[in-house]
Homo-oligomer: A and B are copies of this chain.
Amino acid sequence: IAAADAAAIDRLMEPLHAADIADFLEQIEPHERRRLLEIWQGGLDGEILSEIEDSVREEILGYLSPQDLTDAVRELESDDVVDLVEYLDDDQQEAVLDVLEPLDRVAVEKALAYPEESAGRLMQVETVRAPEHWTVGETIDHLRAHSDELPEQFYHVILVDPRMKPVGNVTLGRLMSSRREVRLADIREDLFVTIPATQDEEEVAYAFNQYHLITAPVVDEDGRLVGVITIDDAMIVLAEENAEDLLLLAGVGESTVSDRVVATTRRRFPWLAVNLVTAILASLVISLFEEVIAGLVALAVLMPIVASMGGNAGTQSLTVAVRALATKDLTGSNVLRVIRREVLVGMINGVIFAVVMGVIGLAWFGEPLLGVVIAAAMVINLVIAGLAGTVIPVALDRMGVDPALASGAFVTTVTDVVGFFAFLGLAALVLL
């Protein structure tokens, strides 16, 4: 890069897949990125651009020449263009849309009219469809005649009725291996799922994974065909949603390793602020027992153990519950059973660790009652952890709040408060 050798860069980049080039661009420093793209004029095509993650892409679009942008965008299909422009500010969006052919522009604008993260944003408007009364021969002849208008990738022919409502799917495999006179309606797939354009993309990904769909037609509110979603887009959504749950559970929002320092700091701040409040709440509980601690400092030494074990057990229950809610494995029909199980698990593990910790407490401080107190507090806190770890995410989910986002703070607050209160309270009763 330092030598500004465009030909050398071309040689290096040429054998790489667009997704790998995108990864490479994400991993280098912003100034290196800019320098590289200045030298590598015209090398950045639409495919690479659509593979780059949002924050880096926005940065690049900020200094890409209009000509390069035009070249890059022209070759993309409508869903990729939507993906490219949907999070841009209005000026940048306008600039990209201006370079599109009028027909493509209409398609992209239609998709942008659907809500964010909906099936309408995810779909590609280019569909391959045929009237249901057609035969295999008619369909193949039609496809051959219009081969230059076909999308790059398609795996089904969608059967539509005269009002453009999709009524079935024929896989290309069946189509190709059937005799020319067979009617499409007779070889359609058993399973046929249509997706409303306004459906949340998370639901779309769930449907693809649950029913092993490869493509699914998207319909408007009147049930008419408006586009098609393919599994590779659904897979990307699934991966993103899973990552989001993981990051939300850890309180990091939508972070990636290529974010800058300021953006990262700002994203992590809220969760740390929430944690500070809950930690202070726990400290207030401790301060109720200042005299007890002053009377027996061993309590201060041991109390974090009870809270920490509760926090961990609560996080375990919580994570299983959040995951099960996301995959729809935790529903009204089994929620009571799951809660009962979590409480039981908390109790069993609580008793085991109570015994262990009771013995350690006794051995450490030579005070039998201290062992009893920490053991009892441990059982109480692990049972509460199992209960809170399941009830809180389920309750949040029913209230329409994403359980991955908020459960963690609630659950650890509960286990901290209960842990300190049970341990120090019992100590006050028994030891003083």
Contact = CB atoms under 8 A, between A and B. Distances in A.
A431 interface: no
Contacts of A331: 27
A177 interface: yes
A294 interface: yes
Q: In terms of DSSP, what is the predominant structure of the interface of chain A?
A: helix
3 cross-chain pairs, A with B, having the tightest CB-CB distances, nearest first: A250-B319, A172-B172, A242-B242
A257 B329 contact: yes
Interface string A293-336: 11001111111110111001101101111011001111101100
Contacts of A324: 256-257
Interface in A380-430: 416, 420
A109 to B, nearest CB: 25
Given A246-B242, A272-B309, A171 B147 contact: no
A291 to B, nearest CB: 8
A229 to B, nearest CB: 13
18 contacts: A17-B191, A17-B210, A17-B211, A27-B333, A143-B177, A155-B173, A172-B175, A235-B235, A239-B327, A246-B323, A249-B319, A251-B316, A265-B344, A269-B352, A290-B297, A293-B293, A294-B294, A300-B303
A272 B341 contact: no
Contacts of A259: 341
A222 interface: no
Contacts of A279: 304-305, 308-309
Interface in A334-361: 334, 337-338, 341, 344-345, 348-349, 352-353, 356-357, 360
